Amino acid sequence: DGGITQSPKYLFRKEGQNVTLSCEQNLNHDAMYWYRQDPGQGLRLIYYSQIVNDFQKGDIAEGYSVSREKKESFPLTVTSAQKNPTAFYLCASSINRGVTEAFFGQGTRLTVV
């Protein structure tokens, strides 16, 4: 089935460790996004990529890094520089032309202890 997959669904890490969240899509979408959501809050944009090998910072990029080496993959690394990494992380993709809808994964809930 076509879609966007995030893995794992739950992730636990010790403080000070870097951790990489996976996001894969087989929708042939050009654009991909990473969002962070804290309890009771809206989605905040971390990074987005509109084409392979290119990405831009969103509103809260500090402490995060991404890569876009393949069209179907947009991994997010939460580094030890991120002060409060515990959150719900959502990945999305969309075509990058015309009027379009974004498709979201089911999210990864990261807990740093």
Partner 1 sequence: DAKTTQPPSMDCAEGRAANLPCNHSTISGNEYVYWYRQIHSQGPQYIIHGLKNNETNEMASLIITEDRKSSTLILPHATLRDTAVYYCIVLRTASKLTFGTGTRLQVTL
Contact residues for partner 1, defined by CB under 8 A:
31, 33, 35, 41-45, 48, 50, 56, 58-59, 88, 90, 92, 94, 96-107
Cis peptide before 8 (omega within 30 of 0): yes
- The H helix count followed by the E strand count for the chain is 0, 11
Angle at 50 between CA 103 and CA 35, to 5 degrees: 50
Q: For partner 1, which is the closer residue by CB, 50 or 86? A: 50
| Shortest CB 80 distance to partner 1, Å | 26
| Shortest CB 61 distance to partner 1, Å | 12
Q: What CA–CA distance (Å, rounded) separates 56 from 105?
A: 20
**3 state SS of 97:** coil
Residue that is written with structure tokens 């009771």 in the block: 40
Q: For partner 1, which is the closer residue by CB, 17 or 106? A: 106
| Shortest CB 107 distance to partner 1, Å | 6
Q: For partner 1, which is the closer residue by CB, 35 or 64? A: 35
Q: For partner 1, which is the closer residue by CB, 11 or 45? A: 45
| Shortest CB 91 distance to partner 1, Å | 8
Q: What CA–CA distance (Å, rounded) separates 113 from 111?
A: 6
